[in-house]
Amino acid sequence: QVQLVESGGGSVQAGGSLRLSCVVSGYSYSNMGWFRLAPGKEREEVATIRDGITSYADSVKGRFTISRDNAKNTLYLQMNSLKPEDTAKYYCAARSRWVGWESRSVYWGQGTQVTVFS
C-alpha cells in the first residue's frame, strides 16, 4: 500500500515560517508535489519536483522551497514570509512520470492545515 503522510502544519503569524514534511511509504515516485485547497477555491498546485527540477506557483515564488530526501523518502516544503492568503490545507502528492496530476493514478496524503493570521 502506498501511503503519504503530511506533518508540520499549524498556525503562524504573517511573516513567519513553517516547514511541511511528507513521508512516503510503499513505493518511490519520480514526481512529487505540494498542493493546497482553501474553502471556496480550486485546488492549487503550489510546488512540484522531478529529478531535481522544481516548479512553483507564481504566488509562492521566492518564498517557498520544495525539496526531497530520497534516503528518508521524505518530501519537504519550506514556507517563509507566510501571508494570510497562504491559509489552506496542504496536500502531498506523488505520481509516475507517465501520468499527469489530474490522473486517478495520483496518490494523495491526508493533508495538513496551515493557518496564517495577521
Q: Which residues pair with 6 in a beta bridge?
A: 22
- Compute CA distances 15 → 12, 74, 83, 101, 106, whole Å: 8, 25, 6, 30, 32
What pLDDT was estimated at residue 111?
A: 97
Per-residue pLDDT of the chain (118 residues; tens, 9 = 90+): 899 999 999 999 999 999 999 999 988 888 999 999 999 999 999 999 998 999 999 999 999 999 999 888 999 999 999 999 999 999 999 999 899 999 999 999 999 999 999 9
In this prediction, residue 30 carries a pLDDT of: 87
3-state secondary structure of 71: helix
C-alpha cell at 36: 493546497
